[in-house]
Structure 1
Amino acid sequence: MRYTLASLDLWILIAVLGLAAVGLMANFSTSYAEGELEFTHFYRQLIWSAIGLVLMMSAITIPSKYYQTFAYAAYLLGILGLIAVLVIGQSGMGAKRWIGLGIFQFQASEIAKLTTLLGVARFLSDFPRDRDKIWVTLTAVGLTVLPMGLVLVEPDLGTSMVYPMMLFCVLAWSGAPLWHLLLLLCPIVAVVTSWNTTLYVVTLVAMLIIIFLSSKRFIPVILAAGILVVIGSATPILWNKLHPYQQKRLITFVDPESDPLGSAYQLIQSKIAVGSGGLTGKGFLNGTQTQLKFLPEGHTDFIFSAWGEEFGFIGTSGVVVLFLVLFYRGIRLASKCHNPFFAITAAGIVSMLVAQALTNLFMTVGLLPVTGVPLPFISYGGSSLLTWMMISGVLLGISLRWRDY
């Protein structure tokens, strides 16, 4: 079949290019100081954007069936890359997350998100008649937990959070029973509610009732009760296993005023930047928090705050709209794909995008703890930008060929 540019989902393409353009503008602003341009960050991002476009176009031109054919091989390469990081990776800021490639450092955890999705999507599409079986769900969990665990060892808590969100969404999309999904939520529910005994008990009882009603069996209820009790009891141990900086981030999330000049400084300055932007912002290159360097990590974790200060509510709403366009068009594409692998892959891409974007956006306004998750397409960083451009190419390739398979 002959393809043309009109066959692509142009809304997805426009949204991706729009977000990348916002990223370049925001990085230009955060690189600008005292009227002089600090070339490093902006020009690196510009070069990565150009390379990213090439990768995106390359991913589009590759026949989508090859992603399905080589999904397991890609998954294995992703695992080997994560292992390589732990063995030969370069250390920095107390973590080992980068593989040195000459003048370029690459985060294997970024590309592993895509390879993990491809592996899980291939597995679920290989057993369409068995998706209501618990062994299928547990195998998908195992395929996800392995790379997630390797990322946690680096350690990179922020990136590891994307994996369970992606897994939950692809299982739901592929038709896993409700009680399977509730079992997956049990560890998270136990950790979040175990700090308050009343809340923990009420939530535990509610979860067990819902699981029984959805499964009509007692074994899932017993499994859920065991998970909730064990994880809830182990929460203090898990807390002590966190690094001190991670503990401080969680404490200041609950009480930012507890350390306003220390671990809460980033969050407080981020809120000031976003709030001071008002409706229309202070203007490009006129953000005081950004230009006077009060906003830490303004080019990476808190780039949305820098954008909000200079372009206000209108500018931040525009960014949110672009992400919503990607979400809507991605879900629409997944819903019309005849091939289960393409449908699950498209849904997984959208879930990863939304999970990572919401985590970053909520982090900058204090609705989630600071986790160091970059904003897709916008935050400074070659590994993140190149990976998301490549992921976008896979999604666009599916939009080009969804009728073929």
Structure 2
Amino acid sequence: MFKREWKNIDRVLLGTCILITIISLCIIGSATHINKGVMNYGFAAKQAGAFVIDLAVLLTFCRYDYRKLKKYSKPLYIINLLMLAAVLFLGKSALGAQRWIQLGPITLQPSEFSKLIMIICMAAMISERVHELRTMRQILPIALFVGIPFLLVLKQPDLGTSLVFLGIAFGMLFVAEIKLSLLRNMFAAAVVAAPIGWHFLKAYQKERIAVFLNPNADPLGAGYHIIQSKIAIGSGLLFGKGLFNGTQSQLNFLPENHTDFIFSVIGEELGFLGCAGILFLYFLLIYRGLMIAKDCKDPFGMLLATGIVSMWVFQLLVNIGMTCGIMPVTGIPLPFMSYGVSALTTNMMALGILLSVYLRQQTMIF
């Protein structure tokens, strides 16, 4: 059975994701190998260890029949809410936010896993309503379904991850053939509600949006990240300064160079060609994901694949746009690239589910 599954697996998709992750280990090692003048590859080693374990997780989800996930959607939704609520009371604070739970030596970020859980739950819910989303009354249950975890994540506060929920929901509703006039009305309502939402943002979140429009207004404060990121990417020119030779990242001018701003390190050390190569790999990733969604005849599988691809696309656009100064700074990681055990594990589980959809589709064909 395993040989037959391996023969039918989408090797382009699997190989692309593994290659991106291996490249990320090199970039993380380059960005963090010097700590206060001492050589230290601890971050790269920890990420590599998580990657090895996650390969087993990937294989498990790949061989598991994704269709069985549908019957667990309601319990998963309840677990998701309890998990996010627990962060508010038991969570560990860092960088002005309470997003992590400490389990012995392991630090987990539940909001990362929440994204995948929401994809499963929304796919189960929307699959029963495909071709029927024609009125606001039919959309309201879905909006409430997404809205509760959205608010819990926003409360942490984690504006970036909460916005990922909206990106996922938009992609899934679009392929479920929601009436386009409803999408326009929802977008218009969001624009009208934006001034109200502004008052609920934290001070640092407001600063990030303000400096997005003019980073030089506070070059040593809120605008520092964007300015240093643009300097790093621009200084790489065509070929880059070489791996382990970037000055902005090696001399710690670039903050969060192994997490949120890892693409800036790629731009500085590998140059325009390196960035183009990484973007091509992401293109393959998204393209294969879309093809799996397109070819899937099962509405639940199609929506699962769409939700996973929507999550990756949204994070790609926001993270890379942020490092280039065309998006506000948010804590959204670059899929398979940014350092973070929770984010990597979530993406590997998502990849496993996507491959499971592909394999079951091949089984139906052959």
Residue aligning to 1:243 = 202
Give yes or no for contact 2:135–2:182 (8 Å, CA) kept in 1: no
Give yes or no for contact 2:229–2:261 (8 Å, CA) kept in 1: yes
Structure 2: runs of 5+ lacking an equivalent: none
**Cα deviation, residue 404, structure 1:** 4.9
**Cα deviation, residue 39, structure 1:** 2.8
Q: 1:280 aligns with which of 239, 249, 258?
A: 239
Which amino acid is 2:28 matched to?
A: N
Residue aligning to 1:76 = 78
Q: 2:44 aligns with which of 34, 39, 42?
A: 42
* Mapped partners of 2:5, 2:127: distance in 1: 28
Residue aligning to 1:85 = 87
Which amino acid is 1:20 matched to?
A: T
Which amino acid is 1:94 matched to?
A: G
Change (3 A) 1:338 1:292: same
Note the 1:343-358 alignment, pairs <5 A: 343-358=302-317
Q: Residue 379 of structure 1 aligns to a residue in which SS?
A: coil
The answer on 1:270 being equivalent to 2:229 is yes
**Cα deviation, residue 136, structure 1:** 3.1
- After the TM superposition, which of the residue ranges 239-248 and 387-396 deviates more from structure 2? 239-248
* Mapped partners of 2:41, 2:240: distance in 1: 25
**Cα deviation, residue 129, structure 1:** 5.2
Residue aligning to 2:345 = 386
Note the 1:208-223 alignment, pairs <5 A: none
**Cα deviation, residue 339, structure 1:** 0.5
Give yes or no for contact 1:342–1:402 (8 Å, CA) kept in 2: no
**Cα deviation, residue 352, structure 1:** 0.6
Give yes or no for contact 2:131–2:177 (8 Å, CA) kept in 1: no
Q: 2:63 aligns with which of 61, 64, 80?
A: 61
Give yes or no for contact 1:119–1:143 (8 Å, CA) kept in 2: no
Residue aligning to 1:127 = 129
- After the TM superposition, which of the residue ranges 23-32 and 72-81 deviates more from structure 2? 72-81
Give yes or no for contact 1:280–1:314 (8 Å, CA) kept in 2: yes
**Cα deviation, residue 350, structure 1:** 0.4
Q: 1:293 aligns with which of 226, 249, 252?
A: 252
**Cα deviation, residue 133, structure 1:** 4.2
The answer on 1:148 being equivalent to 2:150 is yes
Give yes or no for contact 1:327–1:350 (8 Å, CA) kept in 2: yes
* Mapped partners of 1:90, 1:269: distance in 2: 28
Which amino acid is 2:175 matched to?
A: W
Which amino acid is 1:318 matched to?
A: G
**TM-score normalised per structure 2:** 0.95
**Cα deviation, residue 142, structure 1:** 1.5
Which amino acid is 1:4 matched to?
A: E
Matched positions, count: 362
* Mapped partners of 1:29, 1:129: distance in 2: 49
Residue aligning to 1:10 = 11
Give yes or no for contact 1:116–1:143 (8 Å, CA) kept in 2: no
**Cα deviation, residue 401, structure 1:** 0.7
Give yes or no for contact 2:132–2:178 (8 Å, CA) kept in 1: no
Root mean square deviation, CA, Å? 1.7
Give yes or no for contact 1:72–1:118 (8 Å, CA) kept in 2: no
What per-residue deviation string (whole Å, max 9, x for no partner) do you get for residues 211-257 of structure 1?
Answer: xxxxxxxxxxxxxxxxx3xx26xx1x533332221111111111111
Give yes or no for contact 2:131–2:178 (8 Å, CA) kept in 1: no
Q: 2:183 aligns with which of 181, 184, 191?
A: 181
* Mapped partners of 1:53, 1:4: distance in 2: 16
What per-residue deviation string (whole Å, max 9, x for no partner) do you get for residues 302-352 of structure 1?
Answer: 000011111011111111111111111111111111100000110111011
**Cα deviation, residue 396, structure 1:** 0.9
Give yes or no for contact 2:67–2:300 (8 Å, CA) kept in 1: no
* Mapped partners of 2:183, 2:363: distance in 1: 32
Q: 1:311 aligns with which of 243, 252, 270?
A: 270
Q: Residue 176 of structure 1 aligns to a residue in which SS?
A: coil
Residue aligning to 1:21 = 22
**Cα deviation, residue 403, structure 1:** 4.5
Q: Residue 368 of structure 1 aligns to a residue in which SS?
A: coil
* Mapped partners of 2:341, 2:115: distance in 1: 15
* Mapped partners of 1:168, 1:403: distance in 2: 28
Give yes or no for contact 1:166–1:351 (8 Å, CA) kept in 2: yes
What per-residue deviation string (whole Å, max 9, x for no partner) do you get for residues 13-32 of structure 1?
Answer: 01111111121011110122
Residue aligning to 2:285 = 326
Which amino acid is 2:141 matched to?
A: T
Residue aligning to 2:31 = 30
* Mapped partners of 2:240, 2:93: distance in 1: 38
The sequence identity of aligned pairs, in percent, is 39
Which amino acid is 1:56 matched to?
A: L
Give yes or no for contact 1:357–1:376 (8 Å, CA) kept in 2: yes
**Cα deviation, residue 4, structure 1:** 2.6
Residue aligning to 1:337 = 296
What per-residue deviation string (whole Å, max 9, x for no partner) do you get for residues 253-280 of structure 1?
Answer: 1111111111111111100110111111
Radius of gyration: which is bigger? 1
Give yes or no for contact 1:125–1:340 (8 Å, CA) kept in 2: yes
Q: 1:108 aligns with which of 110, 132, 148?
A: 110
- After the TM superposition, which of the residue ranges 69-78 and 380-389 deviates more from structure 2? 69-78
Q: Residue 219 of structure 2 aligns to a residue in which SS?
A: coil
